[in-house]
Homo-oligomer: A and B are copies of this chain.
Amino acid sequence: MDFREKMDEKFIGVLTDFMQSQSEESLYAAQQFSRLALEHKIPPEEIVNLQKSAMQELMPDLPPEVWHSFDILLEVMTAYGFAFREYQSLIDTQK
């Protein structure tokens, strides 16, 4: 299993737990996931992609408009992704 597949699996686990329990523990697991994603420089649009794929797996019968709505969020987050990459390269320059 490569890193990307591991992240997919981890995210789907966090999401499923939270959707079922809304517990503090599952929220904490989401924070840990974020830290890992940031450490690995995963851009924000990838997170939205993960969320879309996870939801398609967990709730495949949602109306098609829901999936379209993810595409808009993906489009907006892609613009944020450029800022994120620029931030990463600024950080790398300062090292």
Instruction: Let me know if B87 and A27 touch, CB within 8 A.
Output: no
How far, in angstroms, from A38 to B82 measured CA to CA in the complex? Answer: 10
Q: Which of A10-27 contact B (CB under 8 A)?
A: 14-15, 18-19, 22, 27
Instruction: Let me know if B30 and A75 touch, CB within 8 A.
Output: yes
Chain B CB within 8 A of A90 CB: yes
Instruction: Let me know if B69 and A15 touch, CB within 8 A.
Output: yes
Q: Which of B15, B47, B55, B69 contacts A77 (CB 8 A)?
A: B47
Q: A76 to chain B: closest CB distance in Å?
A: 5
Contacts of A37 in B (CB 8 A): 76, 79
Instruction: Let me know if A86 and B83 touch, CB within 8 A.
Output: no
